[in-house]
Amino acid sequence: MEANERCENTWADVEVLLERRRSELEQLVDLTNEHVAHERDLLAGIVDALEAQSKPSHPMERDDARQSRQLEI
């Protein structure tokens, strides 16, 4: 009888550990998703800033940019 009780207690311990691991895994997935969203926003901001920087703001600059692109072709 004592061996049966120890076996049941051991399986109960295993179930507790599995539940804890499942909870930790869910937290890790949530944290990873938050990190991915942050990285996506950061990279989108960098791309937007680079695009804004490369666009000429003055009409003369636009003409110069067109001419330089034509020279490259």
CA distance linking residue 25 with residue 28, whole number of Å = 5
Categorize the per-residue pLDDT at 55 as very low, low, confident or very high, splitting at 50, 70 and 90. Answer: confident
Categorize the per-residue pLDDT at 42 as very low, low, confident or very high, splitting at 50, 70 and 90. Answer: very high
In the chain, the number of structural domains is 1
Is this prediction's pTM over 0.75?
no
Our measurement of the distance from residue 70's CA atom to the centroid of its chain's CA atoms, rounded to an integer in Å, reads 39
* Cα-based distances in Å from 17 to 7, 12, 22, 29: 15, 9, 9, 18
Mean pLDDT of the chain: 87
What is the domain extent for residue 44? 2-72
Closest to 30 measured CA to CA, from 22, 18, 42 = 22
pLDDT in tens, 3-33: 999 999 999 999 999 999 999 999 999 999 9
Residue type present at position 17 = L
What is the model's pLDDT at position 50?
Answer: 92
